[in-house]
Amino acid sequence: MTLRAVALALGALLAIGAAKAPERWWSPGEGRVFPAQLTYPNADGELGLVLTGGAMPTRGHPFFEPLGPDGRACVTCHQPADSMSLSVASVQERWIATKGRDPLFAAYDGSNCPGLPQGERASHSLLLDHGLIRVERAWPVAGTDMSVEVVRDPTRCNSGEYGPEKGKISVYRRPRPVANMKYLLAMGFAYDPKAGMPLPLDPETGQPVSGNLMADGRALTLKIQMEDAAATHLRMVRHLTPQQIAQITDFEMRIYSAQVKGPHGMLNAGGAKGGPQTLADSIPGQLGSISNQPNSVSGPVWSEFAAWEKDDPALPEAERAFRKSVARGARVFREKMFLISDSAGINSPVGFGNPVRNSCVFCHNMTQMGNDVAPGQVDLGTTTLPFADPQPDLPLFRITCRGKPHPHYGRTILTHDPGYALTTGKCADVGKITLQSNRGLAARAPYFSNGMAKDLRGIIDYYDRRYSIGYTEQDKQDLVNLMRAL
């Protein structure tokens, strides 16, 4: 064995055992080894990733290799340091480091519109300032009961060759995390209680699926989602092979991500069970306190931090205060009741009443994860007026219902993103968006599908306004600290 071969072998072994990658940004085709455990610092502590089954070489792996003409890979928009999503901080750093030449900024969807001058920052402002990727959908779809009119088109991508008159519509959304996938695929119900309908079925196997993979529910399975992403965001001219699909599926089902360290110490200390290893070891799909299966964290949502309700005088004051705040935040999340009104998917079409009195766990009810065990999409008003915050950089559409009026907005609706309605064609689905998990939040700002909340406090403030919850300042800080620990 030559000295060079020995050096390469030693380097590979060191990489496999390393706790940290040498660089935050993973460029396509680097060929790094993805270690079994990986951590990245962020403003709220440290993100942790666990790859079950051990370290994995990425050389030749289709998640990490550039497969399309723009030099992109899946990892381009699903960065480990950003909890397998993409943060605005990372986008801005990449723009500066590459002078805007990284494949991330490809004209097709990494700019506001392909027809804009690509060398200018303003042409990529939605990605740089809000973390948004352009999503082009075909419109109209068969059987639609609504019409779409473009009221405002600041990106110039909903007119001319890219507009509805050409059978297209562009919306702008945050990349969804591809970690903790077993929780996104889990189902706690045998039907969709939001619509009172059977669950959608995998077109290949005929088995029920959660429908929780994409914001507008257009891809029902991991395979379909991969094929959709390969054809659009990677612009591949060939289909992914069965082997490539199997490799990507294997990786996405093995990777777990959560905050492992907070601003004041580890999140799996003092009896708490934070961090990604808990997610890897636990059973998904459990509702509330129904958690009597082996290897599961018992108790209600965010009971991982219940032990922190007990004070530990031996700790530094700042750490004691943070722990108590996280524990209080978990209780506020579960116990602070408020009236949920005019939200399709909750109050209609079948509905639990309008309004219905409940807490955050009404929708964020899956233990260890905070997504919804009940499949189906919900309209929380984040993309639709009058509830959405002003978004002058985003397109604005006027939806007119041709049949029945929308149950909460009436016959005419103003929205930045029709959401699930772009998939179903139904006016009643305007504004519905698939809920996301709550893990790894500190690593992937901004938040909501359109990046409307710039920070964690923005999430709390939005819900407080939308549903007139009446959080105290202490409640808000405790909830923020809880989310910093997830």
Compute the distance between CA of residue 59 and CA of residue 29 in angstroms, rounded to an integer. Answer: 7
pLDDT (0 to 100) of residue 292: 45
pLDDT at 333: 97
As a whole number of Å, the end-to-end CA separation of the chain is 47
pLDDT the model gives residue 12: 38
* DSSP state letter for 434: P
Q: For residue 307, what are the CA distances in angstroms to 161, 270, 299, 311?
A: 58, 7, 12, 9
- CA-nearest of 439, 429, 435 to 448 is 435
Q: What is the largest CA-CA distance in the chain?
A: 76
Half-sphere exposure of 168 (CA within 13 A, CB side): 15
Query: Is the Cβ–Cβ distance between 486 and 258 less than 8 Å?
Result: yes
pLDDT, residue 195, reads 79
Return the residue matching tokens 């579960």: 334
Residue 269 carries which side chain, given as an amino acid letter? A
Would you tell me the crossing angle of helices 242-254 and 222-232 to the nearest 10 degrees?
A: 110
Q: How far apart are CA 377 and CA 363, in angstroms?
A: 10
Predicted pLDDT at 352: 85
What is the phi-psi region of residue 285: left when phi exceeds 0, alpha when psi lies from -120 to 50, beta otherwise? left
- For tokens 């199997």, the residue is 246
At residue 369, the pLDDT reads 92
Cβ atoms of 213 and 227 within 8 Å: the answer is no
Task: Give the separation between CA 306 and CA 300, rounded to whole angstroms.
Answer: 10
Cis peptide before 57 (omega within 30 of 0): no
From residue 224, alpha-carbon distances to 12, 84, 212, 247 in Å are 34, 19, 13, 15
Q: Rounded distance, CA 184 to CA 398, Å?
A: 32
Query: In the block, which residue shows the tokens 């722990």?
Result: 323
Q: What is the pLDDT along the chain (486 residues), one digit of tens a residue?
A: 333 333 333 343 334 334 444 589 999 999 999 999 999 999 999 999 999 999 999 999 999 999 989 999 999 999 999 999 999 999 999 999 999 999 999 999 999 999 999 999 999 999 999 999 999 999 999 999 999 999 999 999 999 888 888 999 999 999 999 999 999 999 888 888 877 888 889 999 999 999 889 999 999 999 999 999 999 999 987 899 999 999 999 999 999 999 999 999 999 999 999 999 999 999 888 886 444 444 445 578 999 999 999 999 999 999 999 999 999 999 999 999 999 999 999 999 887 899 999 999 999 999 999 999 888 899 999 999 999 988 999 999 999 999 999 999 999 999 999 999 999 999 999 999 999 889 999 999 999 999 999 999 999 999 999 999 999 999 999 999 999 999
d(CA 317, CA 314): 9
Judge contact between 72 and 233, C-beta under 8 A. yes
Nearest to 205 by CA among 226, 184, 220: 220
* Backbone φ and ψ of 40, nearest 5°: -140, 130
Q: What is the DSSP letter of 15?
A: H
Of 483, 38, 40, 46, the C-alpha closest to 263 is 46
Integer Cα distance of 120 and 324 in angstroms: 47
User: Any bridge partners for residue 45, and if so which?
Assistant: 42
8 Å CB contact between 67 and 76: no
Token pair of 222 as six digits:
């991991």
Residue the block writes with tokens 């907005």 = 409
Query: So what's the pLDDT on residue 293?
Result: 46
Phi-psi sector, 353: left (phi>0), alpha (psi -120 to 50), beta: left
Residue 120 token pair? 């200018």
